[in-house]
Amino acid sequence: MARRRGWGGSPPADDEEASQRIVAAAVDLIDRTGAEINIADVAQSLGVIRQTVYRYFPSADALMRAAAIASVEGFLERLTRQVAGLDDPVEAMTEGVVYTLAEVRRTPHLGILLSSTYSNPHPEAIASEEAWMFGMAMIKRFDVDWEEHGYDDDSLAELVEYVLRTMQSFFVSPGTPPRSDDDLRRYLRRWMGTAMLAQREWDSGNPAKRDCSPVESGS
């Protein structure tokens, strides 16, 4: 049970509520400041000591990961509005990537879904289940008939991995100077778009993906 002290005079009923309130406080602080925060910042906003927050989250990275996951649904709702009506896979994906990278810059904790930690990005995190679920949830919000454009479950999973790796590269190393949103759109349409458009041709030329009709026996 959460200790009955602090919490602005309204202590949580149990550990689950305490954890939820800590995460909510972290999300609120990040939204208001647009900057990195630490355990001390969150503790102060809740009127508790740092040890209370550490009791539920062993590190700032653990807390920021929880904050990122808690923020995903709100991000996906905003993304859905941004790409509404775009039924071309290249246009929808281009706009989705540009918007996501812009949101990551505005809300730093979302960057955890493209790297392993809040404080020290690492490339291997792109293979995490959280990152894959984030990417799959993104493309499921698009008004794109993926099957009509030659994508089955396997190729969609590979597309998600490809797009996550692309976004991570721009997140970790945006360039000097970073591309503007319009320049990034042009770049993505040319290179990512070309790869996406090749999907149907690759499918038809890949024996493992072809439909195999049964061979009729001769008379």
**CATH number among 3.40.50, 3.20.20, 1.10.357, 1.10.10, domain 64-200:** 1.10.357
Over 80: is that where the pLDDT of 123 sits? no
Q: How far is CA 80 from CA 75, 87, 95, in A?
A: 9, 12, 11
The domain over range 11-57 is classified in CATH as 1.10.10.10: no
Rg of the Cα atoms in the chain: 22
Percent of the chain at pLDDT > 90 equals: 51
Mean pLDDT calculated for residue range 162-182? 90
Mean pLDDT of 119-125: 48
- pLDDT band for position 9 (50/70/90)? confident
Q: What is the pTM of this model?
A: 0.75
| AA letter at 91 | E
Domain boundaries, the chain: 11-57, 64-200
CA-based nearest residue to 133, from 149, 106, 113: 113
pLDDT at residue number 214:
37
Instruction: Write down the residue that tokens 């809740």 correspond to.
Output: 46
Describe the crossing of helices 181-205 and 89-106 by its angle, rounded to 10 degrees.
140
